[in-house]
């Protein structure tokens, strides 16, 4: 199945497609209000999607609430460190609104929050190096993502996509061992809102269990602190003990759960949002 498509809707950015079976308002231009709501509905109806997911400024949230959206996550200061953001969902199918594994999701969150009491002391194991990725790494990066994920909401298996995003607003970081990439992550920066999404974490199976994701995240936090970025967030698989613990230990705060939101690792899964104010 092909990855979902990213389009412009007015001055806003929207992702949609059958893989995640949804429309995702990734970036909303306020001058597209109020028509953006009806345009999202129209696209969803035309394609038969079962969820609309929108990341919007708090000041615009009443418009979406009136249209049947509910707040699933809340991030203080996501827009320029001043205005809060709401991650809002509208379900066009009742079954889509029911998490398939609520007990596991609750358990993961409980464990992650308990681990937050013992902050990360991530250290790079001997023989490993961490650095920013560059154009020469794109082919190997795509192979790492192919080995780690059965499916992914963005076309990270394609080196051309990785190169394209490097040219725009995404900074990729990696851990190498014997000059081979064994772990990856990225910071998808938004200069307009001075925010960044910490995403695309992947560690080769043969190198897991050494805290490499925590090392990467700590390195990324240091790098982002030297920029104008003011707020970080992540959208992590809600059933992943490892990733939720990694963000909790790094000082991220839980923001909410997006139910049946993203096609990743072969199926549509619920996702947890965490945030961090620099």
Cα-based distances in Å from 66 to 23, 60, 63, 256: 18, 11, 5, 21
Q: Do domains 5-97 and 102-277 have the same CATH topology?
A: yes
Confidence category of residue 215, pLDDT binned at 50, 70, 90: very high
Position 53 scores a pLDDT of 98
Give the CATH class of 102-277.
alpha beta
* Measured torsion, CA atoms of residues 273, 109, 243, 256, in degrees rounded to the nearest 10: 0
Determine the 3-state secondary structure of 265 from DSSP. Answer: coil
Looking at residue 75, what is its pLDDT?
98
Would you list the domain boundaries of the chain?
Answer: 5-97, 102-277
Instruction: Tokens for 69, please give them.
Output: 């959206």
Continuous segment of H or E residues that includes residue 189? strand 180-190
| 108-160 tens-digit pLDDT | 999 999 998 887 777 899 999 999 999 999 999 999 999 999 888 889 999 99
- Residue-wise pLDDT tens digits, 16-74: 999 999 999 999 999 999 999 999 999 999 999 999 999 999 999 999 999 999 999 99
pTM of the model: 0.95
Q: Interhelix angle for 212-225 vs 241-249, to 10°?
A: 40
Domain 5-97: CATH class, spelled out: alpha beta
């Amino acid at each position: 199945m092909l990855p979902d498509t990213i389009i412009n809707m007015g001055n806003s950015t929207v992702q949609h497609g059958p893989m995640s079976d949804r429309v995702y308002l990734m970036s909303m231009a306020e001058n597209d209000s109020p028509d953006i709501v009806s345009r999202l509905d129209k696209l969803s109806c035309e394609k038969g999607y079962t969820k609309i997911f929108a990341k919007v400024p708090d000041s615009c949230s009443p418009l979406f609430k009136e249209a049947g959206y509910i707040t699933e996550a809340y991030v203080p200061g996501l827009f320029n460190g001043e205005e809060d953001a709401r991650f809002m969902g509208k379900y066009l199918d009742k079954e889509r609104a029911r998490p398939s594994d609520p007990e596991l999701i609750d358990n993961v969150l409980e464990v992650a929050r308990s681990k937050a009491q013992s902050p990360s002391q991530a250290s790079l194991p001997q023989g490993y190096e961490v650095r920013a990725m560059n154009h020469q790494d794109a082919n190997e990066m795509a192979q790492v993502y192919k080995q780690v994920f059965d499916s992914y909401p963005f076309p990270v298996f394609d080196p051309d996509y990785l190169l394209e995003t490097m040219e725009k607003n995404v900074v990729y970081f990696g851990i190498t061992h014997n000059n081979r990439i064994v772990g990856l992550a990225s910071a998808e920066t938004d200069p307009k809102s001075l925010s960044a999404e910490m995403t695309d974490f992947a560690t080769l199976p043969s190198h897991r269990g050494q805290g490499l994701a925590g090392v990467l995240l700590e390195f990324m936090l240091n790098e982002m602190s030297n920029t104008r970025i003011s707020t970080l967030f992540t959208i992590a698989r809600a059933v992943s003990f490892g990733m939720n613990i990694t963000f909790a230990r790094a000082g991220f705060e839980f923001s909410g759960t997006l139910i049946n939101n993203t096609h990743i690792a072969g199926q549509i899964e619920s996702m947890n949002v965490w945030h961090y104010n620099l």
